[in-house]
Chain A
Amino acid sequence: MPNQEKNVLDPNKWIVLYADYLFNYTISRIDDKELAKDIVQETFFSALKAMKNYRGDASERTWLVSILKRKIIDQYRKANSKKGRAEVRVNFYEDGDKKGSWLEECVPQTWDNEAASDIETKELGDALNNCISALPEKHRMVFKMKTIQNIDTDDICNELDISASNLWVIIHRARLQLRKCMEVGWFKK
């Protein structure tokens, strides 16, 4: 395209312009500050190496984020292969004759209207984050990719090499556990 201005890269300004943005982006997906720092650092290093491939179509920031996204996926994969196998599964449902019915102690309880009407407090946010930290690694990962990162189901399935029905079972187990955790710690009457 003639006369269209191309974006250019200026690595001298990267830290000042994008370090906080990328760090923030990472930490909202991987809640470990040290790890997030490392990932941001690796992103800048990879970007430096890949500069010659930059065609100037996307903005500098978009381009950096696309590299960061791949780093985050790599991290998810690493966690997946390490801890995916030995996780404790909490069972919410009966087996045998009554397969798939609620276990008595897992049945949803009525929630306190007052607690449920004010969900914006910081304390509730802290409680939620504690509950998320308590999820098994793989469940937490898939839950976050779907709920926070808003990644397409197909993409998550491809990245993690799982089927869609597998993904929904994992999301379901994660949400069940989160719901129970918040019920006990926060919402119960």
Chain B
Amino acid sequence: MAPEDSTRKPLPAPDADTTTFWLGLRHGKLLLQHCRRCRNVQYYQQATCRECGGDELEHRPATGRGKVHSFSVVHRAPGPAFKADVPYAVLLVELAEGPRMISTLTGSDPEDVTFDMEVELAFDQVSDDITLPRFRKA
């Protein structure tokens, strides 16, 4: 943990499992994996279906709609990189397609988040290569 790292927000480094996913976000799409064999829909990305073990996975863009399954508003940042952002709401979002994902709220007061609140995807380009999927109130 070098000092220069502590104030910079960590960015994902895409790998063989996830390159397509992060490329999709750059192009404004949140890709979910649909299993052709057992119809499981999964988030996060990998080579095989976590339900049936099959490798016939198809990337399909999510509608981007979901609702808040749970949430927690961060008041004490996990490190210097996030200190300026507090308070911010971490959301556990249940996507319309079924899978849950974790992200943060953008565009409105974190104190106004409620359970089952309808949210939609917001694309946050944080570097040339990386666009993070965030959510705003629908």
Question: Do A and B associate with each other?
Answer: no
